[in-house]
């Protein structure tokens, strides 16, 4: 394996990187809560139509909602039932539309102006827009806040991940792919507990956002990515940050300047900032761009669709979500282990296949076997989750530094298309059709992964030329 010069300078993942990982893990809670809380925020609710005293009857001008589980939701407050059901699906999908826009905007901004400014701005905006969504008086303002919240989430998802990857040595990247999802696991485990005690949707929004206003302090705590600084020609800043990190990690600082010069030489002094056009200029990058985009779309469509679907299954909604979260923990461990010992393509293809097969089994299970249905739905969700984790790592290794955020942003745009469609697929009304769609798309993604290059134990490419000349 070629030497990773950044790893030589600051270590594969020392005390300082652990500290930055901790900050980002804490800071991303509001984002993950907004991606997961749809089953409590905009649930399918039972109601009795007072017009004719019939349960779940449409059309219904005077519904009386069942408040035994959720006292107040956006669904009940704005009567998102009957001919207004599409508005519930739209409010769920609007976050995905926002993430699409945010991925495009902040992917470009991050590659041009740096990782740190985008991380700071988006984490702060996450809090602001969730708070606003909790106080708006009408549905359309709420919908706008959901969109804007998605924009900030799109930026934070990309910039936070890339910052951590670029601070890590290549021998630690497999672990990073797992650690970055600790926030999601903790969100899954804590959200149903919080929602159990706070059953008003507006209060739930405030509780899961206001405490995170402390992220404004990150301005003084987070560093810029030294890999990015070197790539855009900011040598002095890179040396300063690498020296600071090396000191914190108790490593020698004598050769920092020489190491940076080596990296510049390997980059052939191609100080550049990428654009979205660069994703389509050269043959390999162009091919990888289209493939990763479709893979991300499949990941998002399957994962978010199943996440919402589990909330519709019979049984206690809080327990169902909690069990789903608990099931993802061993999945995350398996992802880390598999990325350490197996090739990237093998692990991600296996995850997609597990998701697809478990959903096919789900279709044939009799409806009265509730425990078995929930089990295979959770297995499908776990497979989709594992593939999503691996897609982040795989994509960050395939594309070079100058367009890494842009590439992930472009792929994330397609992921949001998949996430946008997912609620409508769930609400088709014919269960086996919905599940068959999710399964088929997961299987198709598994086939596409075969055409990507193997990236295990390789250095992160810095320039487009390095990726184009690398062996497929």
Question: Are 145 and 133 in contact, with CB atoms under 8 Å apart?
Answer: yes
Q: For the chain, what percent of residues have pLDDT higher than 90?
A: 35
Mean pLDDT (whole number) for 50-74: 89
Band of the pLDDT at 143, cuts 50, 70, 90? very high
Band of the pLDDT at 313, cuts 50, 70, 90? low
Question: Are 288 and 396 in contact, with CB atoms under 8 Å apart?
Answer: no
pLDDT of residue 1: 44
pLDDT greater than 90 at residue 416: no
- Per domain, the residue ranges of the chain are 5-469
Q: Is 5 helix (H, G, I), strand (E, B) or coil?
A: helix
pLDDT tens, residue by residue, 92-138: 788 888 988 887 788 788 888 899 999 999 999 999 999 999 999 99
CATH number of the 5-469 domain: 1.20.1250.20
DSSP 88-101: HHHHHHHHHHHHHH
Mean pLDDT (whole number) for 25-44: 89
Cα→Cα distances 26→15, 168, 355, Å: 17, 19, 29
Q: Is 353 helix (H, G, I), strand (E, B) or coil?
A: helix
Q: 420 vs 444, which has greater pLDDT?
A: 444
Give the CB-side neighbour count of residue 194, counting CA atoms within 13 A. 20
Report how far residue 141's alpha carbon sits from residue 139's, in angstroms, rounded to the nearest whole number: 5
Report how far residue 463's alpha carbon sits from residue 188's, in angstroms, rounded to the nearest whole number: 38
Report how far residue 381's alpha carbon sits from residue 445's, in angstroms, rounded to the nearest whole number: 15
pLDDT of residue 135: 95
Rounded to 5, what percent of the chain is helix, strand, coil? Answer: 75, 0, 25
Band of the pLDDT at 270, cuts 50, 70, 90? low
pLDDT of residue 268: 61
pLDDT of residue 175: 76
Q: 216 vs 52, which has greater pLDDT?
A: 216
Mean pLDDT (whole number) for 409-415: 83
Q: Is 83 helix (H, G, I), strand (E, B) or coil?
A: helix
pLDDT of residue 267: 63
109-118, 176-185, 402-411, range with greatest mean pLDDT: 109-118
Q: 95 vs 320, which has greater pLDDT?
A: 95
Which stretch of 22-26, 143-147, 202-206, 413-417 has the lowest confidence by average pLDDT? 413-417
> What value does the CA radius of gyration of the chain take, rounded to a whole number of Å?
23
pLDDT of residue 93: 80
C-alpha angle 374-375-377 in degrees, rounded to nearest 5: 65
pLDDT of residue 168: 85
Q: Which two tokens stand for residue 370?
A: 């509730």
pLDDT greater than 50 at residue 61: yes
Which stretch of 145-154, 239-248, 411-420 has the lowest confidence by average pLDDT? 411-420
Supply φ then ψ for residue 70, to 5 degrees.
-120, 120
Report how far residue 434's alpha carbon sits from residue 454's, in angstroms, rounded to the nearest whole number: 33
Contacts of 33 (CB under 8 A, 6+ apart): 130, 187, 191, 208, 209
Contacts of 364 (CB under 8 A, 6+ apart): none
Taking all residues of the chain, what is their mean pLDDT, rounded to a whole number? 86
pLDDT greater than 60 at residue 269: no
pLDDT tens, residue by residue, 285-303: 999 999 999 999 998 888 8
pLDDT greater than 70 at residue 271: no
Which stretch of 207-221, 342-356, 381-395 has the lowest confidence by average pLDDT? 381-395
pLDDT of residue 381: 85
The pTM assigned to this predicted structure is 0.76
pLDDT of residue 20: 94
pLDDT greater than 60 at residue 169: yes
Q: 346 vs 312, which has greater pLDDT?
A: 346
pLDDT greater than 60 at residue 408: yes
Supply φ then ψ for residue 48, to 5 degrees.
-115, 125
pLDDT tens, residue by residue, 347-379: 999 999 999 999 899 888 887 787 888 788 888
């Amino acid at each position: 394996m070629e030497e990773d010069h950044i790893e030589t300078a600051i270590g594969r993942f020392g005390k300082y990187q652990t500290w930055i990982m901790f900050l980002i893990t804490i800071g991303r809670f509001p984002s993950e809560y907004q991606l997961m809380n749809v089953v409590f925020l905009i649930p399918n609710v039972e109601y009795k139509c007072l017009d004719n005293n019939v349960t779940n009857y449409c059309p219904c001008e005077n519904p009386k909602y069942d408040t035994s589980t959720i006292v107040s939701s956006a669904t009940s407050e704005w009567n998102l039932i009957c001919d207004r059901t599409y508005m519930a699906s739209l409010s769920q999908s609007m976050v995905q539309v926002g993430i699409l826009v945010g991925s495009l905007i902040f992917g470009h901004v991050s590659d041009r102006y740096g990782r740190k400014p985008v991380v700071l701005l988006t984490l702060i905006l996450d809090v602001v827009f969730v708070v606003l969504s909790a106080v708006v008086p009408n549905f359309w303002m709420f919908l706008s806040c959901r969109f804007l919240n998605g924009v900030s989430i799109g930026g934070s998802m990309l910039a936070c991940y890339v910052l951590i990857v670029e601070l890590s040595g290549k021998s630690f990247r497999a672990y990073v792919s797992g650690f970055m999802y600790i926030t999601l696991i903790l969100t899954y485990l804590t959200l149903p507990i919080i929602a159990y005690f706070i059953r008003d949707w507006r209060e739930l929004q405030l509780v899961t956002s206001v405490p995170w206003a402390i992220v404004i302090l990150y301005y003084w705590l987070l560093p810029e990515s030294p890999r990015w600084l070197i790539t855009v020609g900011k040598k002095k800043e890179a040396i300063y940050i690498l020296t600071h990190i090396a000191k914190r990690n108790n490593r020698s600082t004598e050769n920092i300047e020489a190491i940076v010069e080596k990296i510049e030489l390997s980059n052939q002094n191609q100080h550049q900032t990428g654009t979205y056009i660069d994703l389509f200029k050269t043959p390999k990058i162009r091919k990888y761009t289209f493939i990763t985009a479709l893979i991300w779309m499949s990941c998002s469509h399957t994962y978010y669709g199943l996440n919402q679907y589990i909330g519709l299954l019979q049984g206690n909604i809080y327990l169902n979500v909690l069990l789903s979260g608990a099931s993802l923990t061993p999945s995350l461990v398996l992802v880390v282990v598999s990325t350490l010992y197996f090739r990237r393509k093998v692990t991600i293809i296996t995850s997609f296949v597990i998701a697809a097969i478990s959903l096919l089994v789900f279709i044939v299970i009799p409806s009265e076997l509730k425990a078995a249905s929930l089990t295979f739905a959770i297995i499908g969700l776990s497979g989709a989750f594992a593939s999503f984790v691996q897609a982040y790592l795989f994509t960050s290794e395939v594309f070079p530094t100058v367009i890494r955020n842009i590439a992930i942003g472009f792929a994330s745009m397609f992921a949001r298309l998949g996430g946008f469609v997912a609620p409508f697929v769930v609400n088709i009304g014919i269960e086996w059709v919905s599940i068959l769609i999710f399964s088929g798309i997961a299987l198709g993604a598994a086939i596409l992964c075969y055409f990507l290059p193997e990236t295990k134990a390789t250095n992160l490419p810095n320039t487009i030329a390095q990726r184009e000349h690398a062996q497929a």
